[in-house]
Amino acid sequence: MLTIVIPSKNEVFLRKTILDVLKKATGEIEVLPVLDGYEPPKTELVTDPRVRYIRLPAQPYSQKRHGINLAISQAKGNYVMSLDAHCMMAKGFDEQLAKDHQPKWVQIPRRNRLDAIKWSLQPQSDSRPPIDYEYIMFPPLVKDHALHGFKWDERTLKNWDIPIDDTIQFQGSCWFMTKRWFKKMGFMQVEGYTGWGQEAEEISMTTWKNGGRVVTNKNTWYAHLHKGPVHGRMYHLSREENRRSYAYSYNKWLVENKDFFISIIEKFAPLPGWPKDWERRLWPKDAATSTTSVTTTLPSGTTIISNTLKKTDMPKTANKSNTTVIYISSNTEKPEFEQNVRKLLRENCGDIPIISVSRKPIKFGKNISVGNVPVCESTNLRQLLRGLEAAKTEYAIIAKDDFAYPPEYFALTPPSNDHLYRYENIWALGDKFWQKGYSEYAQMGNRKYWIGLIKNALKGHRGWNEIAVPILFDPSEPLSWTSDNAVINFKSTSGLRKFPTVRRNFLPKRALPFWGHALELKMKMGLG
């Protein structure tokens, strides 16, 4: 099944686009138009069991990325497509794309030009062919710290007889991939990119960098309306928001991922208009030590594990032979929510074994049930000790029933056996994401060293009576590890701490990389 998401903000051709998609699809589809802060007249709505409208509350900014994320989180299809609300499709486009698809691909159908008034294709010729390829422009728009694609007619004509071919860039008005690839890559990232712009750049760069392919498929097509002065944009777009998106994208790919960017340009070289000395002009020597990124000062001794590193660059990672996850549960959270927490943990920790220590029996890893003991911090500490003693591996890493952990959380083997390591990037989720300091439930270390610390802290205290002992402690110098992707502490009404300690000098965020929009994540986890 294919889920087709159609973002729309005051689009006058939305109904025509939906009807065209329904008419041209030959397989099983569902259509999810996303109404960004407006309601069309009832006569413009399409009544069809395959169509389900998603409505977003009005905001002063574009919510295209939010809308796509929300729609795909509800998608029933194994395949997903995003389509602009002013497009016409080829007959059988859905089955052709599915037939040709490979798991790590992003497909772009051949793009024709739409005459929206006649609802037909505009004429084409060798001087105005369909758009199969785009390239990244240079040098004019790079001065504005922006990545821009532009049609590559020369490559279109040269590679006319290649039905499916690699492309470095595409427009963004239509793309097709599996829902699995969309989720694995963390599209559409809102934080940094803002709500609109650079969608194609994010998809193409991220896909190529992670071993996928972005391909143009000439076995089928769609026709896209270039609105221009005739039709206008149809909605207000913040220039400042657009500039922030461009600046973030430029920094992410040309500064933070310089080596990858060089490799992808070399793969498709020569690109139109690119001078021979493009590397020197992009990264002049006098700017070699500068960066436009926003940085956070981390403690000395912090190991940074970037989710943009190549596998060959990664430090030695935790694995099933050397690490065990110790999962602690008080069994006070909503069952649906905790099931989702466990599911995420299982997915993101890979094949690392799990020992769960809970107050009631649960089916999760190897379970240890400690019975109806007090719900308190010292109980959690004793639960952790039980789990550590039951494990056999050299290292252990903690997880808890109201936290979510990204894959990068599990991407470290401690370089030293006489320290505990604390994850640095932690956010609490309420109405928005709020940055926290260290958390006792985001640590790892040598298992025997950890056991010794806990036994020393509990010396003289037997049984399960509540005592004032913090679970976050280590007399040695604090050491950390971190990545771009945060550990999330969910604030339900069932946890030990109703009001988390957060860093008030940091502004909250509506969305975070990997996790997406705050409210969407809460709904997904069963807290909506």
Half-sphere exposure (Cβ direction) of 156: Cα atoms closer than 13 Å:
22
Produce one character per residue of 34-72: b if its CB has 16 or more CB atoms within 10 Å, e if not. bbbbeebeeeebbeeeebebbebeeeebbbbbbbbbbbb
Domain match, 398 and 261 both: no
Domain match, 254 and 380 both: no
Domain match, 266 and 339 both: no
Instruction: Tell whether 163 is covered by a domain.
Output: yes
**Which of the listed residues 230, 251, 281 is the one where a domain comes to its end?**
281
Question: Please, are residues 323 and 296 in contact by the beta-carbon 8 Å criterion?
Answer: no
Question: Please, are residues 197 and 248 in contact by the beta-carbon 8 Å criterion?
Answer: no
Domain match, 327 and 242 both: no
pLDDT tens for the chain, residues 1 to 528: 999 999 999 999 999 999 999 999 999 999 999 999 999 999 999 999 999 999 998 887 788 988 999 999 999 999 999 999 999 999 999 999 999 999 999 999 999 999 999 999 998 877 789 999 999 987 644 445 578 889 999 999 999 999 999 999 999 999 999 999 998 888 888 777 777 788 999 999 999 999 999 999 999 999 999 865 555 555 556 666 677 778 788 888 888 889 999 999 999 999 998 988 888 888 875 333 333 333 333 444 445 443 433 333 334 456 778 999 999 999 999 999 999 999 999 999 999 999 999 999 999 999 999 999 998 888 999 999 999 999 999 999 999 999 999 998 998 888 889 889 989 899 999 878 888 877 889 999 999 999 999 998 888 888 888 776 655 556 666 678 888 889 999 976 544 444 456 665 577 888 888 898 888 899 899 986
Instruction: Find the domain containing 506 and state its range.
Output: 323-525
Question: Please, are residues 112 and 130 in contact by the beta-carbon 8 Å criterion?
Answer: yes
Query: What is the DSSP-derived secondary structure letter of residue 126?
Result: T
Model confidence pLDDT, tens digit, residues 142-191: 445 578 889 999 999 999 999 999 999 999 999 999 999 998 888 888 77
Q: Does the bond joining 139 to the residue before it have cis omega, within 30 degrees of 0?
A: yes
Domain match, 265 and 336 both: no
Domain match, 60 and 196 both: yes
Q: Calculate the CA 450 to chain-centre distance.
A: 33
Domain match, 248 and 364 both: no
Domain match, 357 and 413 both: yes
Neighbours of 296 (CB within 10 A): 9
Give the C-alpha separation, 171 to 215, whole Å.
13
Give the C-alpha separation, 343 to 522, whole Å.
15
Instruction: Tell whether 314 is covered by a domain.
Output: no
Instruction: Tell whether 471 is covered by a domain.
Output: yes
**Which of the listed residues 249, 281, 313 is the one where a domain comes to its end?**
281
Give the C-alpha separation, 387 to 389, whole Å.
5
CATH, residue 469: 3.90.550
| Closest alpha carbon to 17 in 105, 119, 108, 85 | 85
Instruction: Give the three-class secondary structure for 136.
Output: strand
Stretch (H or E) spanning 35: strand 29-36
Query: What is the DSSP-derived secondary structure letter of residue 523?
Result: H
Model confidence pLDDT, tens digit, residues 463-510: 888 776 655 556 666 678 888 889 999 976 544 444 456 665 577 888
Strand order in the sheet with 403-404: 403-404, 487-490, 426-429, 433-435
For 54, phi then psi, to 5°, come to -115, 125
Q: Give me the number of domains the chain comprises.
A: 2
Instruction: Tell whether 292 is covered by a domain.
Output: no
For the record, the structure tokens of 168 come out as 């470095």
Instruction: Tell whether 309 is covered by a domain.
Output: no
Neighbours of 228 (CB within 10 A): 8
**Which of the listed residues 216, 247, 281 is the one where a domain comes to its end?**
281
Alpha carbon of 245 to those of 250, 308, 322, 323, 359: distances in Å? 9, 19, 41, 39, 47
Instruction: Tell whether 300 is covered by a domain.
Output: no
Half-sphere exposure (Cβ direction) of 322: Cα atoms closer than 13 Å:
14
Query: In angstroms, how far apart are the furthest CA atoms of the chain?
Result: 87
Query: What is the DSSP-derived secondary structure letter of residue 131?
Result: B
| Closest alpha carbon to 82 in 97, 71, 93, 98 | 71
Domain match, 95 and 236 both: yes
CATH, residue 124: 3.90.550.10
Domain match, 75 and 158 both: yes
Instruction: Tell whether 294 is covered by a domain.
Output: no
Counts of helices then strands in the chain (DSSP H, E): 14, 26
Instruction: Give the three-class secondary structure for 173.
Output: coil
Domain match, 389 and 243 both: no
Alpha carbon of 13 to those of 56, 200, 468: distances in Å? 19, 22, 64
Stretch (H or E) spanning 231: helix 228-231
Strand order in the sheet with 420-423: 302-304, 479-482, 420-423, 443-446, 395-400, 323-329, 354-358, 366-369
Instruction: Tell whether 297 is covered by a domain.
Output: no
Q: Calculate the CA 290 to chain-centre distance.
A: 27
Domain match, 176 and 230 both: yes
Is the Cα dihedral 480, 305, 427, 410 positive or negative? Answer: negative
Determine the angle formed by the axes of helices 377-390 and 447-457, rounding to 10 degrees.
140
